[in-house]
Structure 1
Amino acid sequence: MKLPLLAVLWCVLTTTAPAAEEPFRPEAGKFPPLEKAHAYRGELVFVDHVNRRGSLRVQGNGVFRRNDPQPFAMLPYGMVRYHGAPADLRDIPLGTVMHVRAYLPPDPKISAVPVLPVNNKEKDADHRRGVGVAPAENHVLLLEDEPSHCQREGLVWKLHELDLKNNEGMIAASREPKAGADGKANQEALTFDAATRIWRGRECLSVADLVTEGAWPAEGKKSLGGQTVQLGITWKPTPGGVFTRFHISDIWLDDTAMQRAAHLQTGTHKAFMRSRWLPAWVDAVEYGKFGRATVTATLFGGMDASLYAEFDKRRQVLVNGVENTLKHTEGGTAGPTQMASKGSVLDVIKTPEAAPPGSSGIQIRFETDLITEGIRPTRIVRIRPADWPDVHLPREEHLNSGNFSHEDRFPTPAIFPKY
């Protein structure tokens, strides 16, 4: 019996058409592949640093200033980079343009920011804003400023021409591979002004200093000949109805200047983490008797190597359960130290392969005689050597008592406007 033509076409379409790719969500206990992340960039306009979230004005193909700020949340293992070094959200000045690698919320029911339709990045907000300015991928694995992004990707900025008047003006520049330009990089016009910092070696210079030295003219144009630098990028309102034009906050003229900036930021972050403890997740728990247990945990990535080096065999450690925002869970007025499980490190295991983004590639095995509810497989914890500073955290950085729900977070997602 012959099938009707329409039936034949239906059979062909249903058997040969490729299946639509399922939206990707990270899973508990697994570091997501970087290639599955959605990449975008935008201006940091709001930060709720204690809950590791904020809002970005995402760059699209329309009028940048009209784009509504979009909330984002850092994944528990999400990493922040500033000036080529580890950072916390509190370190990033508002207005900084950040590069983002992010995913859909792992569990929408407990998302710390509003959940959007999975195809939201494909929608055209309107003809003035364009596509991609409100991505549903708002749970961030990697948040990095311009020099951090360029160093990770092996890129530099080449300065081509300067136009200066009254200590402000514009620079024509292009972002290119450090190994050598392929001739395809597009030049863009970036503004600068008297507040732009220019770093040379250990010096911090101003535009006026370069004019006084004769390196830049007091007024007019000058060719910069493709000078190689790193730039700090921000956004400021621009006259003339320009759709999108970014601003230079910093220029690092040489490697020494950039390395010094990274060194200073590393010191800031190391001191911060020693008081807040390193985050990790629990891989396995081997239960013993009377509350004893042997715990294996993977330290998250993005920290300075010297912090990881302080974990070694036979050293005493303290471990406390935390929420996905990395807030400590505490009881009443007791601090993390009083509520933590204590024990000895049995082993430090370093994976021979390259660790995936978000992971340090270092596992800690420790034994404790007081296993707590927060130390369970796939749960998030914070861990520190016992000789690190014993400090009490401010109220907003911990959850009061053990009786809380995700609806009781302080503050709640309702603080974000619904555009």
Structure 2
Amino acid sequence: MKRRILPIYILLLISFGFISNAQGDEPFRPESGKFPTIEEAKAYRGELVFVDHVNRRGSLRLHVDGHFQEGHLHHFAMLPYGEIYYHGAPADLRDIPIGTVLYGLFYLPPDPDTSAVPNVKGNDKTAPPETHAILLEDGPSLCLRKEKAWKLKEVNINGSEGLLVASLDREDGGEGLGGEHQLTIDASTRIWRGRELLGLDDLISEDLWPASGKKEFDGQEIQLALTWHPRYLYQQFHISDLWLDEAAMNVAIERQRQRHIRHIHTRWMPARVDTIQYGEFGQATITATLFGGMDDSLYAEFKSGNGGKMAAAENTLRTWWPDHDGMDGRIISIEKTEDKPQLGSSGIQIQFEVSLILEGFRPGRIVRIRTQGWPNVKPPVEERVRSFEDRWPSPDIFN
């Protein structure tokens, strides 16, 4: 199974701690029409407590070292080019269960006046001003990206529940959890082995884990998905999913990958318009950059000479009635950058020829593109833009 690889300069920044150390730097506001540099991002970790998947926004309860009191929620919105990963594969917010521990990279809102979440002022550690995410991922995705795994040291079973002791390596100033942790496990925990879905009782009946008491392990490599625990203020976690081997993790990756592929096939590929070459009588050739964070197989389906359709979209990636008001056209060329693309960009530019240019295709605007063979369908009614409010969602929902 091919794992997701981020550009090498991003991995180097993470390894040497620049992203986490950016916590002391001035907040950064992305510019319209540009992919922001990753050096300016701020890294935060927290539990997902609310999702508005239609508008790609939600709320996290941040985990703040040394902070043991209830704080405010960190309301966030995904940037149009923001990437989401779940179980090691591209995802949408709708795919991620409430309570999942997530890791993200954030900036100030590009335009505070049209922000879909409240603008934040002050120095509240639990609700920082960086509210717009370029990257959001769960624990397994982060570990796979950094090519590391939890090391199982001990399980301690008491009836239908227990404690699992595991450790995770982390460089000084690096992302995510690090060190040794005691994590709770019970009958609700899904345990994956190969293609099997097991429970705690299955491992006990096979004499792999004790029915009662402790058993030590010699650093067996596992992957863990963590969720809410009643002692969350003290950064304790419960295990929602446990993968015992690489084969099991690969099954989870493939299932999420296929879910993602179906989603993009029916909602179309998001992109940003870079330039327009105008012809006669409304004809135009549009150069657009496909956004990053999609499965490689989707990019491969964009081929020079393919027919397709382009539809105007908003920063939330919502469209109006794409199968009806989109413009049919043809891909006349595809260019791939030789350099590693910025996070948020695929590094792939296409030239798309249409017979009639639309206002929503102007440079800097967001579009969705269907290539030949993808379904020419409209999304569910609740996902479509139908009013002024839908174009710029109000942050009042968070008040």
Note whether the superposition's TM-score is higher than 0.5: yes
Q: Which residue of 2 aligns with 1:105?
A: 109
| Code of the aligned partner of 1:245 | Q
SS of 1:187 mapped into structure 2: strand
Q: 1:63–1:244: 8 Å Cα contact kept in structure 2?
A: no
- What do you get for the CA RMSD once the two structures are aligned? 2.0
**Counterparts of 1:209 and 1:44 in 2: how far apart (Å)?**
30
| Code of the aligned partner of 1:280 | A
Q: 1:65–1:237: 8 Å Cα contact kept in structure 2?
A: no
Q: Which residue of 2 aligns with 1:5?
A: none
Q: 2:204–2:210: 8 Å Cα contact kept in structure 1?
A: yes
**Counterparts of 1:27 and 1:327 in 2: how far apart (Å)?**
21
In the TM superposition, residue 243 of structure 1 has moved relative to its aligned partner by 2.2
Q: Which residue of 1 aligns with 2:260?
A: 269
Q: Which has the larger radius of gyration?
A: 1
| Code of the aligned partner of 1:61 | D
2:56 corresponds to which of 28, 37, 52: 52
2:160 corresponds to which of 162, 167, 170: 167
In the TM superposition, residue 113 of structure 1 has moved relative to its aligned partner by 0.2
Q: 2:114–2:392: 8 Å Cα contact kept in structure 1?
A: no
- Relative to structure 2, which stretch is displaced further, 163-172 or 39-48? 163-172
Matched, 1:316 2:307: yes
Change (3 A) 1:105 1:185: closer
Q: Which residue of 2 aligns with 1:144?
A: 137
- Relative to structure 2, which stretch is displaced further, 66-75 or 315-324? 66-75
Counting aligned pairs with the same residue, the percent is: 53
2:293 corresponds to which of 281, 297, 302: 302
1:389 corresponds to which of 361, 369, 375: 375
| Code of the aligned partner of 2:157 | L
Q: Which residue of 2 aligns with 1:27?
A: 31
SS of 1:66 mapped into structure 2: coil
**Counterparts of 1:24 and 1:81 in 2: how far apart (Å)?**
23
Matched, 1:398 2:384: yes
1:293 corresponds to which of 269, 284, 290: 284
| Code of the aligned partner of 2:265 | R
In the TM superposition, residue 408 of structure 1 has moved relative to its aligned partner by 5.6
In the TM superposition, residue 35 of structure 1 has moved relative to its aligned partner by 1.9
TM-score (norm 2): 0.89
Change (3 A) 1:354 1:47: same
Q: Which residue of 2 aligns with 1:247?
A: 238
In the TM superposition, residue 185 of structure 1 has moved relative to its aligned partner by 5.4
Q: 1:64–1:244: 8 Å Cα contact kept in structure 2?
A: no
Change (3 A) 1:168 1:160: same
Change (3 A) 1:175 1:414: same
**Counterparts of 1:258 and 1:359 in 2: how far apart (Å)?**
27
- 1:245-277 Cα offsets, whole Å, 9 max, x none, are 011111111111111100000000100110001
Matched, 1:223 2:216: yes
**Counterparts of 1:258 and 1:111 in 2: how far apart (Å)?**
37
Matched, 1:73 2:77: yes
Q: Which residue of 2 aligns with 1:39?
A: 43
| Code of the aligned partner of 2:313 | V
| Code of the aligned partner of 2:139 | E
Q: Which residue of 1 aligns with 2:11?
A: none
Matched, 1:202 2:198: no
**Counterparts of 2:318 and 2:194 in 1: how far apart (Å)?**
39
**Counterparts of 1:255 and 1:353 in 2: how far apart (Å)?**
31
In the TM superposition, residue 24 of structure 1 has moved relative to its aligned partner by 1.4
In the TM superposition, residue 410 of structure 1 has moved relative to its aligned partner by 7.7
- 1:302-327 Cα offsets, whole Å, 9 max, x none, are 11111111111111121111110001
Where structure 1 has 5 or more consecutive residues not aligned to the other structure, the ranges are 1-19, 126-131, 179-183
In the TM superposition, residue 62 of structure 1 has moved relative to its aligned partner by 4.6
SS of 1:400 mapped into structure 2: coil
| Code of the aligned partner of 1:326 | L
**Counterparts of 1:185 and 1:143 in 2: how far apart (Å)?**
19
Q: Which residue of 2 aligns with 1:364?
A: 350
Change (3 A) 1:410 1:353: closer
Q: Which residue of 2 aligns with 1:351?
A: 337
In the TM superposition, residue 22 of structure 1 has moved relative to its aligned partner by 5.2
**Counterparts of 1:185 and 1:93 in 2: how far apart (Å)?**
23
- 1:126-148 Cα offsets, whole Å, 9 max, x none, are xxxxxx21111110000000000
In the TM superposition, residue 175 of structure 1 has moved relative to its aligned partner by 0.9
- Relative to structure 2, which stretch is displaced further, 61-70 or 148-157? 61-70
In the TM superposition, residue 176 of structure 1 has moved relative to its aligned partner by 1.8
**Counterparts of 2:201 and 2:268 in 1: how far apart (Å)?**
43
Change (3 A) 1:54 1:185: closer
| Code of the aligned partner of 1:343 | G
TM-score (norm 1): 0.85
